[in-house]
Structure formats: C-alpha cells, structure tokens
Amino acid sequence: MTEITLYHYLFVGLFVFVLGFAGSIVCKNIIKVLICIEFMLTGVNINFATFAKYCGGSSADGFVMILFYTAIGAIELAVALYIFYFMHCKKQSDNIEKYGEL
Amino acid sequence: MYNEIIFYSASFLILLFGVLTLVSWNIFYSLISAIIVFFTTSIFFWLLGSEYNAVIQLAIYGFAIPIILGLGIMFTNLKKDRPVKFGFSNSKYGLILVCGIFILAMIYIVLISLLSVPEIFSTQIIFDEFINPHSNFMVFSKGIFSNYVWAFELISLILTITVAGLTIIKRVGRRAK
C-alpha cells in the first residue's frame, strides 16, 4: 500500500469541491443545493488542513482558517434556510427555479 | 499502515456517499448521505493531525447542521392539498428553527471558549504526550487571539448579528400580519 502524500488529500478535497460545485448547479431542490454548498466548503477545509500539515511548518494558520470557514458556513446555512422557509410559505415549492424573485 | 487503511476507507466512503447525496431521489436520503460525508471528513482532519478541527467538524457539520437541515426538510415537506397558513403553527416552526440556530451558536462559542484556557490542556501530561504540535491548543490560541484576533471578533459579530437579526425579522413579520 502506497504512502499517503499531499496529493492524495488534495485529490479528495478536489473531488468533494467539484461534487459540491456540480451539485449546486445541477440540482433543483434547494435543500440539496445548500448541502452541496456545504460540500464545497468542506473541500476547501480539507485543502486548508492538508497544506497546513504538509507545507505549514510549525504554524497552524490553515487549521485556524478551518474554524473561521466552519463558522461562516454555519451562518450562511442558517440565513439561507430561514429565507428558504419564508419563500417556501409563499411559493409552495422547493424547486429553485421558482425562487427567481425574492 | 493503519493510517493508509483508514485513509482509503474514508476516501471510499466520501466518494460513495458524496455521489449518493446528489443522485438520491429522496431528499432525506441525501441528507443521511451528507451526514456520513461530513463525519468522514472529520476522520481526515484527525489523520492530518488536527483533533480539534475534527471535533468541531463532528459537532457542527455532524450534528448541528443536519438537525437544522432536517428541520427545514420537515417544515417544508407539506402536502399539496393542505393550505399553508401563517398562523401559530408556522410561527412555532420558525421559533424552533431559531432555537436550532441558537444551539449552533452555543456549540461554536463553547468550543471556541475552550481555547481561552489553554493552560488547562497544555499542562496535562496526557495531552502533552499524545497531541502533536499542529493540534496543540496553545497553537490555536495563539492563532486566534493574536494573529487573527480581528477575524475572530468579526466572525463572532456576524454570528451575533445573524441570530439577533433572524429573531427580529420573525417578530417584525408577525407584527405585520
């Protein structure tokens, strides 16, 4: 079994990011779009941790950035869900194409 | 050897359940798959030597965010023949949603506040022996409270504004009705 290198982690992070990016474009369900946006943030976090481990030396800046990104992702999700809830009460649908006008 | 096995197993789970999240017809199954992806990501953080980020990933992405998303799915999965009213029941749902946001904020604040007392953790022999320098609480504390203190304060401010703002919007909407 080969040794785990920087590129192994980067590939997984890239896959999660691309999965989230593709899903946020393709999916019509707004909950699924929000999940995909969280996937994108998760992919970015994996890259932060990878570079902090392999290229960061003794500093933990990448790990600290993960804390901030996690908080931003949580805030963004909370606000988006709240807006979605009120829009759903008016539009009666979770199809994102019907949410063109706020 | 064990790290390789764990890495490839976790990668396989992420690939499998990440794709299942997108292709699942039922949104609830998508959410379950996403939870598994988030849990597996915490294993990556642990492998990369950051146990603290792994715990935060488990607490926020593994528990808090799926709860909020699950509540969102339940509240919006209404039957077609049942008219939606802006009465007491929907206000109750909105209140529960705000409580979820509060729980999210509390988890974040509690985890961050642990960093403000780094001496407790750094002086313990067990932690000193097993935690590598990357995940040491002293390093996190130095990063947050000295190098990135303004970013940390800004995040705290945004979190507070979000919670307070959503509550105010809910109250204003109720008065308008």
Helix residue ranges, H only, chain A: 6-26, 30-54, 61-91
Give contacts of B147 with chain A, Cβ < 8 Å. 61, 64
Among residues A42, A27, A31, A29, the alpha carbon closest in space to that of A73 is found at: A42
Mean predicted confidence (pLDDT) in A45-72: 84
The pLDDT assigned to B91 comes to: 63
pLDDT at position A17: 93
Around A98, how many Cα atoms within 13 Å sit in the side-chain half-sphere? 12
Neighbour count for residue A100 (Cβ, 10 Å): 6
| Range 23-52 of A in CB contact (< 8 A) with B | 23, 26-27, 29, 31-32, 34-36, 38-39, 42, 45-46, 49-50, 52
The pLDDT score that the predictor gives to residue A99 is 73
**Tens-digit pLDDT string for chain B (177 aa):** 778 888 888 889 899 999 999 888 888 888 889 999 999 999 988 888 888 888 888 888 888 888 888 888 887 765 554 544 444 456 666 667 767 777 777 677 666 666 655 555 544 444 454 555 555 666 777 777 777 778 888 888 888 888 788 778 777 766 766
pLDDT of residue A47: 92
Neighbours of B1 (CB within 10 A): 6
If we measure between CA atoms, which residue out of B108, B105, B90 comes closest to residue B162? B105
Q: B131 in contact with A at a CB cutoff of 8 Å?
A: no
Which of A31, A68, A73 is facing B69, going by the closest CB pair?
Answer: A31
How far apart are the C-alpha atoms of B99 and B80, rounded to whole Å? 27
